[in-house]
Chain A
Amino acid sequence: MAAIKLKNIVKSFGDTAVVKGIDLSIEDGEFVVLVGPSGCGKSTTLRMIAGLEQATSGDIVIGERVVNDIEPQHRNIAMVFQNYALYPHKSVRENIIFALRRLKVDNADIERRLAEVSEMLQLEELLDRKPADLSGGQRQRVAMGRAIIREADLFLFDEPLSNLDSKLRSHMRTEIGKIHNKFGRTSVYVTHDQVEAMTLADKVVVLHDGYIAQAGTPMEVYLNPANVFVAQFIGSPSMNIIEGTLFNDYLLVDNYRLPRKQLSNVALQTVIDQQGIPVKVGIRPDFFNDSRLFPETDNTFNFTGLQIDLIEPMGFDKEVLFNLAGEAVKARLDLRSELQRDQQIDLVVELSRVLLFDSETDQRL
């Protein structure tokens, strides 16, 4: 079991800096998900923790040890690779117990642990097969088994589900969650899929362009994103960002005037002069409600007379597109709202859910 500290980690390949300075503490037993678009440095960060890459500068501390100069095989880490990286010439059984054999664990113990792991992952039938004879999902389970049986200090996952189809992916996601609940080991999980990040993490770390854009619990990053990048990256469909102007008493969006004092909880408390200041206004599609179903209150604002451009039915939900301040804005309504194209609609939003961002820096106001 181990806590991890990353202290101002920088990694460059030649002249290109991939990780530009990351500080992060991961507590013992915590499940941390590094999430971000491709090229944000998340995999490189994970590989530096594993020891497969060396940081250009900064320190990595696992437990009490600074591990910068410790080779991967001596860090006592188990890892699940994106492409599984099963040894093609070894059977499933040999793949799983390879590390234990090396560690000279005695045979009875190996058998006991193998039985336990293969039962948990339903691998009993597959133990004598070669990786080439397995389906993608089975290979994934073998890769998990190989990591779990180690009982290592630390689990690393490098996009372990990205090669599975969507049904299998959500199943395995649940399994990984269960396994973590059972063993409670420190885990670092890299993914570009924000659903995995939200569902699995104790702490989500959103990476952007080599920096940490925000770290927090899933609900924190969802409800209180620190900047436009996080706001749009987390949550699906992604948050609407609309140009607006903030005046002393109200926020002007298109022709709508939203009262300032009930706006989002981080609102700027200074006095604003006559011209107002330009801001980016963020509203999640999920927070729009059909006014026919949700009555207006003191804490809500009603966008009246919105012209519907497009309706995308999804079954229970439907996504409705309309124009607001020149932007195509999306709202997610449920099946109770009966709508047609070109019809007009009134949508209510809770004022505290309307977020303001600096129009220059994209940071939350």
Chain B
Amino acid sequence: MTPLERAEARFGWKLVAPTIAILGLLILYPLMYNVYLSFFDVQLNGSKTFVGIENYIKLLSNSDYYSAIATTSLYLLGTVVGTTLLGLAMALLLRDPFMGRGLVNAAIMLPYVAPVISVVFGWQFLFDPISGVVNYLFVDLLGLWSERSNLIGDPDSALWVVVLFDIWKHAPIAYLLILSKLVSISRDQYEAAAIDGYGPIGRFFHVTLPELYFVLATVVLLRLIWNLNRFEDVYLLAPNVETLPIFTYYQAFTGVIDQGLAAATSVIQLGVLSIFIWFYIKKIMKW
């Protein structure tokens, strides 16, 4: 290396040093410390007793853990499929310019940027058994249900409310990703397909979908990664829907506090998450 190249490298390290320090100290180190904690019985006040793999044994024999895994799986399935399909539909609908597209765009992006804490109250009111519009619509107006019900109060139905909420909130980001790819498909391809005798549906399956394959995979993977960690959106809307993050939170900070157990849950979850992230970095980012 020449002196100038060395100077450049030094400058590079200097600039990135604060970032490395902060991220290392407050993310990478805690992740490792978490593994360490998972072998201890940890109290809220910080006192620890070594218990070996007892936390893991407790966890794996806890039926609530398995039900949290099942809830999480349903949650992931529902949100990934819903978000991707709605995002795709939105992108197809809004691809071509029309009067007022900017306004429509702003409107549909709003759920994505709005604070969870605010919008959950709107949702709770919508699903309120007495005053909510949803019950009014399905019971009084359409007569589909025989009586008003508390959809958020019952964990089974609340799961689907939470899924719908997530789709509402995150379809916009799927829409943006898909749209940016969609508008880059050249017109020529559609014209060629049209000349070859394909109608709109044929063009969708033979031109659009193959081009979108990659971006759809990206959307699915990103949804999996983000939603596996999703806490606020679920907890604040329906605290009775116990996905893994909520389960961990309850273990760590409420009721009979068992932070060691919570650490063990996080370790396993990090393992699964790492697989998704690895996949994303390798296959999508192609690094």
A and B touching (Cβ–Cβ under 8 A): yes
Q: Which residues of B contact A55 (CB under 8 A)?
A: 2
| Cβ of A300 under 8 Å from chain B | no
Nearest neighbor of A68 in chain B, beta-carbon distance: B2
| Cβ of B3 under 8 Å from chain A | yes
Q: Which residues of B contact A175 (CB under 8 A)?
A: none
| Cβ of A360 under 8 Å from chain B | no
Q: Which residues of A contact B4 (CB under 8 A)?
A: 51, 54, 69, 71
| Cβ of B188 under 8 Å from chain A | no
| A residues 43-91 in Cβ contact with B at 8 Å | 51, 54-55, 68-69, 71
Q: Which residues of A contact B3 (CB under 8 A)?
A: 69
Q: Which residues of B contact A69 (CB under 8 A)?
A: 2-4
Nearest neighbor of B5 in chain A, beta-carbon distance: A54
Write the B25-69 contact mask toward A (1 if CB under 8 angstroms, else 0): 000000000000000000000000000000000000000000000
| Count of chain A residues near B, Cβ 8 A | 6
Q: Which residues of B contact A71 (CB under 8 A)?
A: 4
| B residues 175-211 in Cβ contact with A at 8 Å | none
Q: How far is the CB of A124 from chain B (nearest CB, A)?
A: 39
Complex Cα spacing A71 to B2, Å = 12
Nearest neighbor of B1 in chain A, beta-carbon distance: A54
Q: Give the tally of cross-chain contacts (CB within 8 A).
A: 10
Q: How far is the CB of B253 from chain A (nearest CB, A)?
A: 49
| B residues 1-36 in Cβ contact with A at 8 Å | 2-5
Complex Cα spacing A54 to B3, Å = 9
Complex Cα spacing A68 to B3, Å = 9
Interface SS of B by simple majority? helix
Q: How far is the CB of B52 from chain A (nearest CB, A)?
A: 49
Nearest neighbor of B2 in chain A, beta-carbon distance: A54
Nearest neighbor of B7 in chain A, beta-carbon distance: A71
Nearest neighbor of A72 in chain B, beta-carbon distance: B4
Q: How far is the CB of A17 from chain B (nearest CB, A)?
A: 16
Q: Which residues of B contact A51 (CB under 8 A)?
A: 4
Complex Cα spacing A54 to B7, Å = 12
Nearest neighbor of A70 in chain B, beta-carbon distance: B4
Complex Cα spacing A55 to B2, Å = 8
Complex Cα spacing A336 to B102, Å = 66
| B residues 150-170 in Cβ contact with A at 8 Å | none
Complex Cα spacing A54 to B6, Å = 11
Q: How far is the CB of A199 from chain B (nearest CB, A)?
A: 35
Complex Cα spacing A69 to B2, Å = 7
Complex Cα spacing A55 to B5, Å = 10
Q: How far is the CB of A18 from chain B (nearest CB, A)?
A: 16
Complex Cα spacing A243 to B115, Å = 79
Q: Which residues of A contact B2 (CB under 8 A)?
A: 54-55, 68-69
Complex Cα spacing A71 to B4, Å = 7
Q: Which residues of A contact B5 (CB under 8 A)?
A: 54
Complex Cα spacing A54 to B4, Å = 7
Q: Which residues of B contact A54 (CB under 8 A)?
A: 2, 4-5
Q: How far is the CB of B256 from chain A (nearest CB, A)?
A: 58
Complex Cα spacing A302 to B112, Å = 83
Q: How far is the CB of B167 from chain A (nearest CB, A)?
A: 40
Nearest neighbor of A71 in chain B, beta-carbon distance: B4
Q: How far is the CB of A14 from chain B (nearest CB, A)?
A: 13
Q: How far is the CB of B284 from chain A (nearest CB, A)?
A: 26
Q: How far is the CB of A362 from chain B (nearest CB, A)?
A: 35
Complex Cα spacing A71 to B5, Å = 10
Complex Cα spacing A68 to B5, Å = 11
Write the B252-267 contact mask toward A (1 if CB under 8 angstroms, else 0): 0000000000000000
Complex Cα spacing A51 to B4, Å = 9
Complex Cα spacing A9 to B275, Å = 47
Complex Cα spacing A354 to B4, Å = 50
Nearest neighbor of A69 in chain B, beta-carbon distance: B3
Q: How far is the CB of A15 from chain B (nearest CB, A)?
A: 16
Nearest neighbor of A55 in chain B, beta-carbon distance: B2
| B residues 94-131 in Cβ contact with A at 8 Å | none
Q: How far is the CB of B221 from chain A (nearest CB, A)?
A: 32
Complex Cα spacing A95 to B5, Å = 28
Q: How far is the CB of A243 from chain B (nearest CB, A)?
A: 45
Q: How far is the CB of A73 from chain B (nearest CB, A)?
A: 12
Max chain B C-beta neighbours (<10 A), residue from A51, A54, A55, A68: A54
Max chain A C-beta neighbours (<10 A), residue from B3, B4, B5: B4
Q: How far is the CB of B12 from chain A (nearest CB, A)?
A: 15
Complex Cα spacing A124 to B5, Å = 41
Complex Cα spacing A283 to B160, Å = 83
Complex Cα spacing A69 to B6, Å = 11
Nearest neighbor of B4 in chain A, beta-carbon distance: A54
Write the A19-57 contact mask toward B (1 if CB under 8 angstroms, else 0): 000000000000000000000000000000001001100
Complex Cα spacing A99 to B54, Å = 69
Q: How far is the CB of B1 from chain A (nearest CB, A)?
A: 8
Q: How far is the CB of B106 from chain A (nearest CB, A)?
A: 26
Q: Which residues of B contact A68 (CB under 8 A)?
A: 2
Nearest neighbor of B3 in chain A, beta-carbon distance: A69
Complex Cα spacing A68 to B4, Å = 8
Complex Cα spacing A51 to B8, Å = 13
Nearest neighbor of A57 in chain B, beta-carbon distance: B2
Q: How far is the CB of B11 from chain A (nearest CB, A)?
A: 11
Q: A51-B4, A54-B5, A55-B2 are in contact. List 7 more A-B contacts (CB 8 A).
A: A54-B2, A54-B4, A68-B2, A69-B2, A69-B3, A69-B4, A71-B4
Q: Pick 10 A–B contacts, CB within 8 A, sort by A.
A: A51-B4, A54-B2, A54-B4, A54-B5, A55-B2, A68-B2, A69-B2, A69-B3, A69-B4, A71-B4
Chain B residues at the A interface, C-beta cutoff of 8 Å: 2-5
Chain A residues at the B interface, C-beta cutoff of 8 Å: 51, 54-55, 68-69, 71
Q: Which 10 A-B pairs have the closest CB atoms?
A: A54-B2, A69-B3, A54-B4, A54-B5, A69-B4, A71-B4, A68-B2, A69-B2, A55-B2, A51-B4
